[in-house]
């Protein structure tokens, strides 16, 4: 079937790599605002919060319970049936194996029964192309990808052409937010709770040292900031709500300053000196981080783009869009024997 013969290609996409079961119907409409026909996200936060992090076995079982429901809902909201769908896409990695199996096996089964092509999508590629789903952002761009499991800077030259400039040497930024959130008794995930607490906090009260000052390049490290936070908490006789807010504000402030500083170094390392800067992944929802990157971009006379906060965290719309981008440039479809994978970019 020639999908380009049709005016619009509709993709049913599934995301289940971590703690969100999501299904979406996305199309290749030329207008960004018309591309997402539905994007249903069932979060498992309530299930994991009492454990302070994602429990893989519970996550897998929850994906299995929810997958049919979110797919049906996504089709209903989009006002389409399976017969209107041209392509099935699913996250094949990186992620937790139980969830990846649920998503990919479901997608492959639908593709087989409906005789649709299947596209196995890399979750990180989904995050890094989301901005192009929402806005007309041209390649090349300087990318910050900051999520719960990954952190890197890259020069994005085109679909599938990613030049990694630097990455974290230990924790991802989201992981550090989550661990500090846990230390402050905020439950899981910590990022949004820290951002909320920081609003009423004094970011100058607790002192931190900018990590990796003697090293060149734009790699990052967040584990020292975690240890410093633990020491700050340990220095207090008791932890009041104001102390928590001040620690949250001070921690967020150093994380933002550090990321923006390394972003500047990453820019110096780019070969094409892109005019666009893009932030993606769950941590890109952070307003202080967005403000920091926006200020940097203005100073450098660059345009800054980030998806709406609702599309920074895991969602199936970004997976569907990634499939469309890959089909457009000729990467073709995946075999039904395509495997799940634990790490890496395409
Ligand atoms: O991209 P994502 O939804 O999942 C992964 O692929 O990992 O990112 C989740 C991460 C979590 O660590 C969460 O704490 C963090 O993003 N996060 C935030 C904010 N919202 C989510 N971190 C800082 N500020 C936020 N507003
Ligand atoms: Zn993600």
Q: What are phi and psi of 266, to 5 degrees?
A: -60, -40
Check if 195 has its Cβ closer than 6 Å to any atom of ligand 1.
yes
Distances (CA, A) of 299 to 80, 135, 146, 170: 46, 22, 22, 30
Q: What is the pLDDT of residue 7?
A: 61
Does 156 share its domain with 295? yes
Q: What is the pLDDT of residue 3?
A: 43
Domain that holds residue 218: 139-309
Q: What is the pLDDT of residue 188?
A: 86
- Rounded to 5°, the CA angle 334-336-36 comes to 55
CATH number of the domain enclosing 164: 3.30.420.40
Please check whether residue 335 lies inside any domain of the structure.
Answer: no
Contact assessment for residue 46 and residue 188, using Cβ atoms and an 8 Å cutoff: no
Does 69 share its domain with 150? no
Spatial distance between the Cα atoms of 313 and 206, rounded to a whole number of angstroms:
29
In the chain, which stretches have pLDDT less than 70?
1-7
Please check whether residue 344 lies inside any domain of the structure.
Answer: no
Q: What is the pLDDT of residue 31?
A: 95
Q: What is the pLDDT of residue 4?
A: 42
DSSP code at position 274: -
Please check whether residue 333 lies inside any domain of the structure.
Answer: no
Does 174 share its domain with 226? yes
Does 304 share its domain with 319? no
Burial of 1 (0-12, 13-18, 19+ CB in 10 A): exposed
Check if 16 has its Cβ closer than 6 Å to any atom of ligand 1.
no
Q: What is the pLDDT of residue 1?
A: 41
Ligand 2: centre distance to CA 204 (Å)? 31
Q: What is the pLDDT of residue 126?
A: 98
Q: What are phi and psi of 72, to 5 degrees?
A: -60, -45
Does 78 share its domain with 28? yes
Please name which of 165, 119, 126, 116 lies closest in space to residue 147, comparing C-alpha atoms. 126
Tokens representing 273 are 């000196």
Does 259 share its domain with 180? yes
Q: What is the pLDDT of residue 6?
A: 52
Tokens representing 319 are 């997976």
* CA 247 remoteness from chain centre: 25
Q: What is the pLDDT of residues 47-80, one digit of tens each?
A: 998 888 899 999 999 999 999 999 999 999 999 9
Contact assessment for residue 194 and residue 204, using Cβ atoms and an 8 Å cutoff: no
Does 277 share its domain with 315? no
Ligand 1: centre distance to CA 281 (Å)? 7
pTM: 0.95
Question: What are the residues facing 164 on neighbouring strands?
Answer: 154
Domain total of the chain:
2
Please check whether residue 200 lies inside any domain of the structure.
Answer: yes
Q: What is the pLDDT of residue 214?
A: 85
Distances (CA, A) of 185 to 50, 65, 139, 181, 188: 11, 30, 42, 6, 9
Does 143 share its domain with 276? yes
State the ligand closest to the CA atom of 189.
1
Please check whether residue 112 lies inside any domain of the structure.
Answer: yes
Please name which of 209, 116, 224 lies closest in space to residue 170, comparing C-alpha atoms. 224
Ligand 2: centre distance to CA 126 (Å)? 8
Spatial distance between the Cα atoms of 300 and 297, rounded to a whole number of angstroms:
5
Distances (CA, A) of 329 to 8, 62, 161, 309, 326: 16, 35, 11, 27, 5
Please name which of 179, 188, 193 lies closest in space to residue 227, comparing C-alpha atoms. 179
Contact assessment for residue 137 and residue 322, using Cβ atoms and an 8 Å cutoff: no
Q: What is the pLDDT of residue 2?
A: 42
Does 71 share its domain with 169? no
Q: What is the pLDDT of residue 51?
A: 85
Please check whether residue 195 lies inside any domain of the structure.
Answer: yes
Q: What is the pLDDT of residue 342?
A: 87
Does 169 share its domain with 279? yes
Q: What is the pLDDT of residues 139-198, one digit of tens each?
A: 999 999 999 999 999 999 999 999 999 999 999 999 999 999 999 999 889 999 999 999
Give all strands (DSSP E) within 28-160, no chain letters: 36-43, 87-93, 118-122, 141-146, 151-158
Does 153 share its domain with 297? yes
Please check whether residue 42 lies inside any domain of the structure.
Answer: yes
Check if 307 has its Cβ closer than 6 Å to any atom of ligand 1.
no
Pocket test for ligand 1, best of 125, 175, 282, 318 (most atoms within 8 A of CB): 282
Please check whether residue 94 lies inside any domain of the structure.
Answer: yes
Does 188 share its domain with 304? yes
């Amino acid at each position: 079937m020639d999908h380009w013969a049709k005016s619009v290609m509709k993709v049913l996409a599934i995301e289940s790599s971590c703690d969100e079961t999501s299904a979406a119907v996305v199309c290749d409409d030329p207008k960004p605002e018309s591309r997402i026909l539905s994007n249903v996200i069932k979060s498992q936060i309530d299930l994991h919060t009492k454990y302070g992090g994602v429990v893989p076995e519970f996550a897998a079982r929850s994906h299995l319970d929810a997958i049919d429901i979110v797919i049906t809902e996504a089709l209903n909201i989009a006002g389409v049936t399976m017969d209107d769908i041209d392509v099935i896409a699913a996250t094949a990695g990186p992620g937790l194996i139980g969830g990846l199996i649920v998503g990919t096996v479901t997608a492959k089964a639908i593709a087989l029964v409906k005789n649709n092509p299947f596209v196995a999508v890399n979750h990180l590629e989904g995050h890094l192309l989301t901005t192009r789903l929402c806005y007309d952002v041209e390649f090349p761009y300087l990318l910050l990808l900051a999520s719960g499991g990954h952190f890197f800077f890259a020069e994005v030259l085109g679909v599938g052409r990613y030049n990694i400039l630097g990455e974290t040497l230990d924790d991802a930024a989201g992981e550090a937010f989550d661990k500090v959130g846990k230390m402050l008794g905020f439950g899981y995930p910590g990022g949004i709770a820290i951002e909320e607490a920081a609003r009423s906090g004094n970011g100058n009260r607790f002192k931190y040292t900018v990590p990796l000052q003697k090293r060149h390049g734009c790699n990052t490290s967040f584990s020292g900031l975690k240890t410093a936070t633990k020491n700050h908490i340990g220095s207090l006789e008791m932890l009041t709500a104001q102390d928590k807010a001040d620690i949250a504000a001070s921690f967020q402030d150093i994380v933002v300053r550090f990321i923006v500083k390394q972003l500047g170094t990453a820019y110096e390392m780019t070969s094409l000196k892109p005019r666009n800067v893009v932030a993606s992944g769950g941590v890109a929802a952070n307003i202080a981080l967005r403000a920091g990157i926006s200020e940097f971009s203005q100073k450098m006379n660059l345009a800054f783009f980030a998806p709406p906060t609702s599309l920074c965290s895991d969602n199936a719309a970004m997976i569907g869009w990634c499939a469309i981008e890959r089909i457009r440039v000729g990467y073709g479809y995946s075999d039904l024997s395509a495997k799940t994978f634990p790490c890496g970019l395409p």
